[in-house]
Amino acid sequence: MNTILIPLLQGAGPVALAVVSFALAFTWGSLVEPAARLGSERGRLAGFAGITVLLLLAAGIVYLVPGLLLSDDFGAVVVVPLAATWIIVAVALALRSLVQTGVARVVSAAFSIVALFGAAAGVLIALSWHHPISATVLPTGAFVLIVGAVAGIVAWARPDSEGIAALV
C-alpha cells in the first residue's frame, strides 16, 4: 500500500501546477485588461511580456506533467484517468477556440494542441517505461511542437496568404 501511495503523493505537486496552468489557459484574457491600462508604453510592454512568459510557462507545465507522472512503473495505474483528464481539457479548449476570435482563439487552440501532445507523450512513456526510448519521448514531442509553432507563425504572418490553406 505505501509503495503505491508515495508516488501518487509525489505527483500531487505537478498535478496542482497543471491545474493552475489549465486555469490560466481558460482565464488569461482577464489579465490583458489590467496590462492594457498601464500608464506608460514600457509598463504595457512589461505587462504583456509577463503575460506571455506566464502562458509559455503554463504550456510547458501542461506538456511535461503527464510524462513526468507516468514515467515509472506505477504510471500504468494512473494512465487512463490522467490521459482522459488531459483529453477532456484539450477538447474544451478546442471548443473554446471555435467560439473566439483573434489572439484568444490562437491561445486556446495552442493550449489544446499542447495538452493533446502532452497526453500522447505521457501515454507513450507509460507504455514504454522499461525501454530506453521512453527518455526520448518528451524532448522529441517538444521539438515537434516547436517546429509546428514556428511553421504556424510563418504561415499566419505571410501577407499574401489566406492562412494555412495557402500552404496546401
Q: What is the pLDDT of residue 168?
A: 46
pLDDT-derived band at 10 (thresholds 50, 70, 90) equals: low
Q: What pTM, to 2 d.p., does this model score?
A: 0.76
C-alpha span between 55 and 23 (Å, rounded): 11
CB-based contact 112:90 (threshold 8 Å): yes
When pLDDT is cut at 50, 70 and 90, the band that residue 2 belongs to is low
**Residues 21-80: tens digit of each pLDDT:** 888 878 877 878 888 888 888 888 888 888 888 888 888 888 888 877 777 766 677 788
Domain boundaries, given as residue ranges, for the chain = 2-166
Q: What length does the chain have?
A: 168
